[in-house]
Structure 1
Amino acid sequence: MYSIFHPELTQLALRVLREQRAYERGDYQVETVRAFQRERLNVALSRAYADSVFYRRRLGEFMATHPQGCALSDVAQIPFTTKDDLRTAQHDLACGPLDGAWVYYETTGTTGPSTPCPRNEVDSIANNTALILRYGEVLSRHGDRHIIAVMGPTELHSTGDTFEDVFRALGHTVVKMWPRSPLVGPERALGLIADLGVTAVVCTPGVAIELARHVIRAGRDPRTLGLQVIFALGELSTPEMLENIGGIWGAAIYNCMYASQEASILAVVCPDGRQRTVPLNNYYELIDPETDEVIDVPVDNAVTGEMVVTNLYRGHKPLIRYRTGDMVTATAEPSGGWVIEPVGRIRDTVQLGGRSFTAYEVERAVFTHATGCLDYQMALTSDDGEETLDIVVELPYEHDDAQVRGLERQIQAELGVRTVVRRGHTDGIAGTGAMVSWKAARFHDRRGGPVDAERAAAERLSASRKR
């Protein structure tokens, strides 16, 4: 209905749809995409320099030395934008006052000051179109019509608005319900899933785990609820972990997007289960987080680095060379995009036995050999210099210790540190990963150092949920 009153937005939306459809069909080759990106990049830089207080200062030297515009190869000369910049700049990052936006969101502020994330209509058109096209393909594999429960916060957060817009555009019915809300709760959410015949849900892995646990403890089987599809988002999710959760629910499960409140949609899942970037919306770089050097992403090999992104659309709050703080593995495709796999935040790296591991590698070591595992949590201790990794695995349907003993041997062999695995229940901190980080939620380093700020935030958040 909104576009009826703003015909200029209808024209913009139709143009974006044509461009995105052409890309999805494979009509664009890499040269076409690069030319598109170069043109949109120079428009984005000029606009940010002219209209953003923050970028007028940040881009001054670069714009002075590139008065006729720049090539994509010149982007590496532009200073990075960091999360600290967002926290410090606040509203000065935007291209205009807030009354030029159509909706206001902000980050949760769980581990630091909240940062404003206002969006205009162009933000939503560009990002939601990519979601609509790819999610339409995914859902069509599981039936023509779906009733979809969107389980995420709505206050100052984009989850409910975005997925409502996307799924309604695809002709599906949307039920917005947040199981952690005092107005809903897990029992009511599960009752609605059963009564309404919900066939798909959008939620974090943590919420999928909590709801399955609730069903199992009541003596029921989650598979009897009839879910067909789970769109998982918001926290680290290895394919092995998702396979375990999907098996418990009897549903197909997808790591449905790589995104953040501040950067919007950076990659979207495709029917083959892999996430691909959206190169008509963003210019992507991969960098070495220690040297800041750009890493070439080849077609025939996967490389890992920190994701850096520049928005190419005329959003309310532009991001130029934004360091996400996320490590991803990327492989280029002939289309000009990348296939990516998020492997954890830079600060989620852990040291075990003198070796460095990403969060992805640690979680994969647990779930690769587990069957029917609902959840996990681990703690690292050191006694006389010998490190021990103590892992709790939640195996709701396993009644003997054979799998646990096998897990001990396999995880110890892969991570190279003494490992003790025991069956049990994870505590509430494990469910805070979407709000903090993988390490804060699932990896407790008890080797004698001080409790870091993120772990403390996870503990406070877990305690507040219990209340």
Structure 2
Amino acid sequence: MIYDAVETANREELRALQAERLRETVRHAYENVPFYRGVLDEMGVSPGDIKEIEDCGRLPFTTKEDFRAEYPDGLFAVEWDAVRRIHASSGTTGKSKIVSYTEGDLDVWRSVMARSLAAAGVTADQVVQNAYGYGLFTGGLGFHDGSEALGASVIPVGGGNTARQIDLLQDLESDVLACTPSYCLYLAEKLDEQRIDAEDLSLSTVVIGAEPFTDPMREEIEDALDVTAVDVYGLSEIIGPGVSIECAEVQNGLHIWEDHFYPEIIDPETGEVLPDGEAGELVLTTLTKEALPVLRYRTGDITSLTREPCECGRTHARMDNITGRTDDLLIVRGVNVYASQIEETMLALADVAPQYRIDLTREDSLDRMEVTVEHHEGYGDTPTALETRIRERLEEVLSVKPDNITVVDPGSIERTEVGKVQRVFDHRE
């Protein structure tokens, strides 16, 4: 469902709107954020130099280190009496980054989240069970406000408490579940343990985000819960969830709401802007943020862009699924490895369950990589046979071979009910 006419605007109209908003964003940041004024002056760039959206490339990058250096409110562009809400990043890769919102920012957030949920196929007559965490994490309130703006009913259950989640799914006949992909899998296991058939639930859609996942994991979720699983993307520094989302009709890339967030893909090593279709680091510039305008934020997420119109009719750029993070790159014996490569390769095997962990250790100055994975229920062969198949597949894909692969019974690897799941454990430091 098209929620806002701008979703189908032609590229010329969109570029003109982006240019107008970029000019205002740069002026606002320059005049009200000492950090940006200092960096722009040092680069010899003034707000008047920014005329077209292509001029975005003349602006400085913003990094998570800049957020930490300016902690807590050095990047705010408004006085505290204009701030209506504070959120913070999860802090999974370091100290939390504090983010602020004016009333206008909250209106934009509600709007892009309502737009996102509509693209995911959510309608005003449905019930949304929100299992994202409420509080400083942006997921809970982002989904809550967006669902209400769309007109849907919201069950604000928050993260965890799986027994209650299952009761609510059954008793209130929830149509939509919003949560992390790892929690979807955890919930599916608990339904199976209680001998509850997912087909007997009213659940038709899950909107999953907050952690990377692969297409094989999505297929596991859709099969286990008998749903359509739609990928949503966002990050606290930009606004929260609602930066981009897949459309339920096509599920081929996440539509970035370019009227509010301008995307670029850069080479993570050189900073050079890459053409559409090439994978690199996603960079985002906010175009309408008041309290916290952000110029060319290096997200650390690896993806690619296409600006070809989608079959659903939307014209905004689409980003591919996140395939890794620049700061999650594993360097094993001098070779670059992404956990997502390992996951996608293993889960392509039908007998492998979507629960795994990677342990990195160092013995006598040599790196060791060990992979532990669960087999599916009903697997009839020996663990050794499956270990051999996994090793053969990984050796075809990876430039470095795992030192050990262990297949364990279902349920052996520790689960988490809340938060982002940890799959990589680096014991080398």
Q: Taking structure 1 as the reference length, what is the TM-score of the superposition? A: 0.79
**Which residue matches 2:145?**
165
Aligned counterpart for 2:408 among listed residues 414, 423, 430: 423
Q: What is the 5 A alignment of 1:140-155? A: 145-155=125-135
1-structure distance, mates of 2:136, 2:254: 26
2-structure distance, mates of 1:106, 1:343: 24
**Which residue matches 1:240?**
216
1-structure distance, mates of 2:225, 2:371: 27
Find the residue that maps to 1:117 and give its secondary structure.
strand
| 1:203 pairs with 2:179 | yes
Q: What is the 5 A alignment of 1:352-367? A: 355-367=335-347
What is the deviation of 1:165?
A: 2.1
Is this contact kept in 1: 2:124–2:151, CA < 8 A?
no
1-structure distance, mates of 2:405, 2:254: 34
2-structure distance, mates of 1:397, 1:146: 36
Letter in 1 for 2:414: G
Find the residue that maps to 1:109 and give its secondary structure.
coil
* Cα RMSD after superposing both structures: 3.0
Aligned counterpart for 2:32 among listed residues 51, 66, 90: 51
2-structure distance, mates of 1:195, 1:361: 40
Which digits, 9 at most, give the CA deviation of each residue in 1:87-117, with x for residues without a partner?
A: 1212121111222022221123344322221
Q: What is the 5 A alignment of 1:51-450? A: 51-61=32-42, 65=46, 67=48, 69-89=50-70, 90-139=72-121, 145-180=125-160, 185-255=161-231, 257-264=232-239, 265-271=242-248, 272-273=250-251, 274-297=253-276, 302-333=277-308, 335=315, 337-351=317-331, 355-370=335-350, 373-380=353-360, 389-401=370-382, 406-415=389-398, 417-418=401-402, 420-424=405-409, 425-428=411-414, 434=420, 441-445=422-426, 449-450=428-429
How many residues align? The count is 412
Percent of pairs with identical residues: 25
What is the deviation of 1:239?
A: 1.4
Is this contact kept in 2: 1:352–1:415, CA < 8 A?
no
1-structure distance, mates of 2:110, 2:235: 14
1-structure distance, mates of 2:260, 2:328: 28
Q: 1:429 to 1:186 in 2, by over 3 A?
A: closer
Is this contact kept in 2: 1:405–1:421, CA < 8 A?
no
**Which residue matches 2:312?**
none
Letter in 1 for 2:163: E
Letter in 1 for 2:223: G
Is this contact kept in 2: 1:248–1:374, CA < 8 A?
no
Is this contact kept in 1: 2:89–2:98, CA < 8 A?
yes
Q: 1:189 to 1:66 in 2, by over 3 A?
A: closer
Is this contact kept in 1: 2:61–2:295, CA < 8 A?
yes
2-structure distance, mates of 1:197, 1:372: 31
2-structure distance, mates of 1:136, 1:323: 28
Structure 2: runs of 5 or more not aligned: 310-314
Letter in 2 for 1:363: E
Is this contact kept in 2: 1:40–1:313, CA < 8 A?
yes
1-structure distance, mates of 2:387, 2:196: 24
**Which residue matches 1:460?**
none
2-structure distance, mates of 1:236, 1:144: 28
Q: 1:75 to 1:394 in 2, by over 3 A?
A: same
1-structure distance, mates of 2:61, 2:126: 42
Letter in 2 for 1:113: K
Q: Taking structure 2 as the reference length, what is the TM-score of the superposition? A: 0.85
What is the deviation of 1:189?
A: 1.8
Is this contact kept in 1: 2:23–2:47, CA < 8 A?
no
Q: 1:121 to 1:269 in 2, by over 3 A?
A: farther
Find the residue that maps to 1:202 and give its secondary structure.
strand
Which digits, 9 at most, give the CA deviation of each residue in 1:243-286, with x for residues without a partner?
A: 1122111221111x211112123322212113121111122221
2-structure distance, mates of 1:66, 1:97: 21
Q: 1:432 to 1:370 in 2, by over 3 A?
A: farther
1-structure distance, mates of 2:306, 2:211: 21
Structure 1: runs of 5 or more not aligned: 1-17, 436-440, 451-467
1-structure distance, mates of 2:389, 2:202: 32
Letter in 1 for 2:169: I
